[in-house]
Structure formats: C-alpha cells, structure tokens
Amino acid sequence: MSTVEYVRAQDVPGAIALVAADVAAAYLAGGTTQVDLLLKDGVGEATRLVDIGRLPLAGTEQVGDVLRVRALTTMADLAEDPVVIARLPLVREALLAGASPQLRNMATIGGNLLQRTRCRYFRDRRVTACNKRRPGSGCAAVHGPARMHAILGASENCIALHASDLCVPLVALDAVVHLQGTGGSRTVPLTAFYRVPSQRPDVENVLEHGELVTHVDVPLLPSGMRSAYLKVRDRASYEFALTSAAAALSVEDGTIRTPRLALGGVGTIPWRAREAEDVLRDAPATADTFRAAAEAAVRDPFTVPGTEFKVELAKRTIVRVLKDVSGVPS
C-alpha cells in the first residue's frame, strides 16, 4: 500500500487553498475511484489527500426549472431525490444502472463527473505504453486485446473510456458544472467540460489544479417530454456499459420535437450525439428516422479489432431507446 498524507478539510476555501498550493495534493470525496486507483493500483501522482467529505456540499435544491445538485450528494441519495424521480427519470435510471448499492452509497456526484477516464492498461503499471500515465509512451490498448474501450473521440493515442452512466443523461440535458478556485467561481457546460484525448490523453477536462466542483445545475425536463436511459452490458447488473444511450424528446402528431441524445460506453468523453439530434429534429417518429439518426451518431468511429462490435451495438442501442421513448413499436 502506498502511504499518503491525509488532511481533513474544515471549510471550502480552506480545502481549495490546500489543494491549489500543492501539486501533489488531490481532493478525496467518496473515494471509490480515488482510493482504488491511487492506493490500490498505484496510479496517479497525489501524495496528499484532502478529505472534503464533511464540507457542507451535499443535497439538492430546485431553483425554478433547474435542479441544483451539490457535489457531495451521493449517487444513492440523488437517485431517491423526489425531483429526480418526478422530473428527471433518465437521471434516476442512469444512477441506478451504475456501480453497486454499496458504491452508490459512497460515490458522490462530483466524484462521478471527475472519475478518471480509464482502461485496464492504464490501471496496470506493468504496462509501459500508456499515453495517459506517461505522455508520449504510446497506447498498449490500441495494439492489445480490447473490449471495454471507446470508439468515439478515440485515436491511436488513447481509447480509454469515460465509464460514467450518470454523465450520459447529464450531457444530454445540458447540465452546467460550477467550479470554485482560489481566484473565484466559474461555470462550464458539461458538454464543454471534458476534453477528447487527442495529443494529451493525460488531460481529461478543463479543471485547473485546485478547482473544486461545488455543484451541478441540471435543467429539468419540460412536461410532455419522454425520456429513457438504456444500458447494454455483459451481465444483468453491476457492470460497465458496452453501450448506453440517454434520450429525451416529445412527439407531436407523429413528429419528433426537441430531441436530446447522448451515448455512453463508446466515448472517451460522455458523448452528446448532436448529429443524430439534427436528423431527429422535426422528422417523423419512425424506425427509418431512428436508424438514420443512429448512423449519424456513429459515423466516424475509431475501432480496434476488440471494439468493432460496438459500432453496430451502439446503433441498435440508439434505435431501441428512441423507439422506447417515442412509443414506436419494435
């Protein structure tokens, strides 16, 4: 086991000051990936963990048509939130499809957003070629057995997956992340928060060192919108997605209005499928439209032999979730 220094933060400004001042420091919230990666796999640079678990950053609040979710709200608590149940059913479905009951009691929403984009090669320090761990060293996953890897936003440099279920509906809904740093606060749309690996797989988002996610604002679904989260995986429960899709739309006289679609299990970032939305918008709610949208969503994948199956699986996942939400018979 690695030894780390443990520091219990007393307040939010104090926590931010501690981490911002020390490049070797990192926040510790629920710990489900932080403790796992850092202390068990030995992956990551932090030698000092600043525990923010006691800070007053838990709970939700409805502000007009937005649900404000504070960063330390657990996955379990958010899934049982009355506003989520009534107005954000796809968020609830994604939360309950993720991890296990034990992990959902521990894991926080801020931590879910910030879980490392990762793959088994990244987690295995014996593997030397990993651009995410050692920039410039190559990508073992591209040349080795792969399955739980990304096909969108991926390249020769990195095919590690952003494994969050929750983030899939959140990018579909245009959630906004609120950040606080030593210099003040700022907001970033979740769709602009993550960075595809490109030349720098080690940089996964726009967060500056020391910045803290304080809360996430999630726009509520307008009444009349139907939504669903569909997750396809190797076993029935407690498993990462092979593919997943979050969809929200309404149908007026057989025509699709205000479609929202995002994909999981396939992207190096939670994947908003805007090209597919363009196909769906104001189009007839038919199986042909859904298939055309699916083709548009997965038009330019980067695959390796182990992930080729995901191209068609992702398309079928999209078609099925669209049929479900629009009430078109299969």
Partner 1 sequence: MNTGRSTGIADVALRINGVAFRGAVDGGITLLDLLRDHLELVGTKKGCDQGACGTCTVLLDGRRVVSCLVLAAQCDGREVTTIEGLAPEGGLHPLQEAFIRHDAFQCGFCTSGQLMSAAALIEEGRAGSDAEIREYMSGNLCRCGAYPNIVAAIRDTARQVV
Long-range (24+ apart) CB contacts under 8 A made by 227-230 are 227/88, 227/89, 227/90, 227/169, 227/325, 228/89, 228/90, 228/93, 228/321, 228/324, 228/325, 229/90, 229/91, 229/93, 229/94, 229/97, 229/165, 229/168, 229/169, 229/321, 230/317, 230/320, 230/321, 230/324
Question: Binding of partner 1 at residue 283 (CB under 8 A)?
Answer: no
**Cα separations (Å) of 27 from 6, 35, 184, 226, 289?**
10, 11, 18, 37, 45
The 3-state secondary structure of 84-142 reads HHHHCHHHHHHHHHCCCHHHHHHCEHHHHHHCCCECHHHHCCCCCCECCCCCCCCEHHH
Residue closer to partner 1 (CB basis): 21 or 287: 21
Shortest Cβ 69–partner 1 spacing (Å): 19
> Which of 187, 198, 238, 308 is close enough to bind partner 1 by CB under 8 A?
238
Query: What values do phi and psi take at 265, rounded to 5?
Result: 75, -5
If the CB atoms of residues 49 and 313 are measured against partner 1, the closer one turns out to be 49
Closer to partner 1 by Cβ: residue 54 or 209: 54
Answer for the pair 28, 8: CB distance below 8 angstroms, yes or no: no
19 binds partner 1 (CB under 8 A): no
36 touching partner 1, by CB under 8 A: yes
Q: Which stretch binds partner 1 (CB under 8 A): 43-51, 128-136, 156-164, 216-224?
A: 43-51
Site for partner 1 in 71-90 (CB under 8 A): 76
Smallest gap from Cβ 176 to partner 1, in A, equals: 29
User: What mask of x and - would describe binding to partner 1 in positions 99 to 118, judged by CB under 8 A?
Assistant: xxxxx-xx------------
User: What type of residue sits at position 262?
Assistant: A
| Residues within window 299-328 making contact with partner 1, judged by CB under 8 A | none
The binder of partner 1 chosen from 19, 22, 28, 323 (CB under 8 A): 28
- Stretch in the footprint of partner 1 (CB under 8 A) among 27-35, 186-194, 211-219, 318-326: 27-35
Cα gap 159→45, rounded to integer Å: 21
> Which member of 32, 191, 244, 250 binds partner 1 (CB under 8 A)?
32
Among residues 247, 253, 244, which one has the least CA distance to residue 221? 247
Instruction: Return d(Cα 150, Cα 142) in angstroms, integer.
Output: 10
Residue 47 Cβ vs partner 1, minimum distance, rounded to whole Å: 9
Segment 49-68, which members bind partner 1 (CB under 8 A)?
Answer: 49, 51, 53
Judged by CB under 8 A, does residue 1 bind partner 1?
Answer: yes
Nearest residue to 248 (alpha-carbon basis) of 212, 272, 284, 221: 221
| 39 binds partner 1, rule: CB under 8 A | yes
CB of 38 or CB of 261, closer to partner 1: 38
Out of 2, 182, 185, 199, the only residue in the binding site for partner 1 (CB under 8 A) is 2
Binding residues (CB under 8 A) for partner 1: these are: 1-10, 14, 28, 31-32, 35-36, 39-41, 48-49, 51, 53, 76, 99-103, 105-106, 236-238
